[in-house]
Structure 1
Amino acid sequence: MSGDTVYSCLTYRNENINRALKALRAGKMIQIYDSDSREGETDLVIPAKAVTFKDVKRMRKDAGGLICVAIDPVASKQLKLPFMAELIREASKTSDVLGEIVEKEGDLKYDSHSSFSLWVNHRNTRTGIPDNERALTIRKIGEITERKLSGDPVHFGEEFRTPGHVALLRAAEGLLDERKGQTELSVALARMAGITPAMVVCEMLDDYSGEALSKEDSKEYGKEHGLVFLEGQEIVEAYMTWTGSE
């Protein structure tokens, strides 16, 4: 079955998913809620290549969480991006302190492991933290992901330096078969949309409670701003259909 045929079937079955894919293809922002049993958080999500400084400002002010870029597992391997926990474990061989603090099995209450990779700035930034500089770094991450997947022999270190102000997230190799975090959910949507699988995610926080913004308040924000709101399970079911594994 061709990809187009699978996508047509998917569109017919879930109009909400179709609206989200259309928005992402147009470089627009959507919302993803993972699940009640996981983080229980809603993220603002947008393709990395489409990000402007106004998008960074919106995520910083309206969402308030950590602005990260989730990268497809194939591209992550090709770009030789490590998991941060693996780097720290290696470094812990010469540092007792690192050995004590590195993530261990059972540390995370919502998953088996973290997706964090490097924190980077693009080499054409100064401090890397202003909205326009973070937007540049994010767009360039999207571009190098696309170029690497297309076979271009690019080298990550020629364009980026670490430490920096944009956190990279490396999607699990098995994607949604292995992990159902915002990292994997957003990359799965990118694959379904046929766009570069490098996606910006940022958690929505509550200014008053000190907690994550509730699902209800997140949905209300989405309605006010015309954003498509997706449940994680919707994405999982759609991706299973798209891959033919349903």
Structure 2
Amino acid sequence: MVHFVGAGPGAPDLITLRGAERLKKADVVIYAGSLVNPVLLGLCSAQCRIFNSAEMTLEQVLSTMEQAEREQKQTVRLHTGDPCLYGAIQEQMDALKKRGIPYTLTPGVSSFCGAAAAVEGEYTLPGISQTVIITRMAGRTPVPERENIASLAEHGATMVIFLSASLLDGLQEALLQGAYTQQTPAALVYKATWPEEKVVRCPLGELAQAGRDHGISKTALVLVGDFLSGDYTRSRLYAPDFSTEFRRASE
């Protein structure tokens, strides 16, 4: 059996209980070495064989899984954050299906959740934004043209941008072609939840320069939107004059 496990955003105590148990019982672990906190490998047994997928191709990863399956071993494929976001797990699952190898999925805490905690913010504020766009800038890996940053920025919604800290000049330019302005609040969150976490807030018009000033060019999320401004409308759900299934409005 192969278990795909979300490692969480970085802090070792943010892996799920299920994910931690999978690691403790694993015979083989293939982990995303460029992003997963290696402290988590301390949960593995002394007999566990550990492979760093940052140094492997997909074919090598699959070959390792197949060998473990022939030996009737339990394999954990440990991905950063939640593997459903930029985890490249679909191609692995499809290959395992073709090979008749069973697998499970254990979700994890995504770094976009860790970034919200880092800025002490709520992405979906009443009267500000009820939509979160999670995306990335086109680079060596392309994105569909219909999903280019400028088009998505036209919504003016909360945006969380992955894998783009090395492209801040182009990202800033593209974002400003949408509904945002030079003064729209933005933040760079470097290594959310790690001990070296860093948060840099700035107006969108200064985003690229802020990255240069603080030496942030990788392993960071870009947050954009008025949710960072501190202005919002009080939630109706908890308003005294708002009735719900569980509470009657006061007169």
Does TM-score exceed 0.5, indicating one fold?
no
Q: Which structure's relative contact order is higher, taking Cα pairs within 8 Å and 6+ residues apart?
A: 1
TM-score range, shorter-chain basis? Answer: under 0.3
Considering only CA atoms, is the larger Rg found in Structure 1 or Structure 2? 2
Greater helix percent: which structure? Answer: 1
